[in-house]
Amino acid sequence: MLTIYGVYRSRASRNYWMAREIGIEFRSVPVLQARRLDNPLSPDAPLNTMSPEFLAVNPMGLIPSIKDGDLVMNESLAINLYLARKYGGPLAGKTVEEESQLLMWTMWAATEVEPYSVALVRIYDNGLENSEAGKAGIAVACRSLKKPLDVLEQHLQNQDYIAGNRFTVADLNAAEVLRYAQTEQALFDSHPKVKAWIERCQSRAAYKAMQAGRAKEPA
């Protein structure tokens, strides 16, 4: 059985969503981010990214990780590509060419989008959005996201999804990376095709189930 290590309020959300999309049974092992604890090495601390038990799974001390049989994997986006390839179905590539597109757009999300969407999350998580530094950081992130979103907007002009004209792992991965930037409504309003696409992705039952899991965890 697939085991997913990590809380829903982390990048593990991508893997919980993916597991539900492909309909496989999985076991969840909640692993908290050590930064959220006063003393993560305390004997009574909950399992966290500095716990020896978790470091035995991922020596980098980052979530998520998975175990699938004898395979141990880290890196949330790579995990989803693996799950798509292993379990097949509509989320996977049907041809080598489609598979290359799923990989390319996943890498696009990781390199061209996530650095700036995560910067936005950090500003809001630290309550800095109304400070001068926070406002400046938001402006920089939005400027940096404009070109990638322009590219995606153009790509979606004549199709509803990124590849194969169906929802795939590329849509899931990209939508989860872009979710971090959804605080910036104007950015999406200025890219109507992207806005409609991410709303389609987030209307899926598996996404809503993942979000229900997030809602049960403390912020």
- CA dist., res. 138 & res. 128, Å (int): 10
DSSP per residue over 49-97, as a string?
TTSHHHHTT-TT--S-EEEETTEEEE-HHHHHHHHHHHH-STTS-SSHH
pLDDT per residue of the chain (219 residues) written in tens, 0 to 9: 999 999 999 999 999 999 999 999 999 999 999 999 999 999 999 999 999 999 999 999 999 999 999 999 999 999 999 999 999 899 999 999 999 999 999 999 999 999 999 999 999 999 999 999 999 999 999 999 999 999 999 999 999 999 999 999 999 999 999 999 999 999 999 999 999 999 999 999 999 999 999 999 998
Q: How far apart are CA 145 and CA 124, in angstroms?
A: 17
User: Which residue spans of the chain are classified as CATH 3.40.30.10?
Assistant: 2-88
Distance CA 85, CA 77 (A): 13
Q: What is the pLDDT of residue 88?
A: 86
Residues 91-114 as b or e (16 or more Cβ within 10 Å = b): bbbeeeebbebbbebbebbbebbb
Eight-state DSSP code of residue 112 = I
In contact, 214 and 17? CB cutoff 8 Å: no
Tokens of 193: 């095709």
Question: Hey, which residues does 4 pair with through a beta bridge?
Answer: 28, 66
User: Where in the chain is CATH 1.20.1050.10?
Assistant: 96-204
Pick the CATH number of 96-204 from 1.20.1050.10, 2.40.110.10, 3.40.50.970, 3.20.20.150: 1.20.1050.10
| 76 alpha-carbon distance from chain centroid | 7
Q: Which CATH number applies to 2-88?
A: 3.40.30.10
Q: What single letter denotes the amino acid at residue 153?
A: E
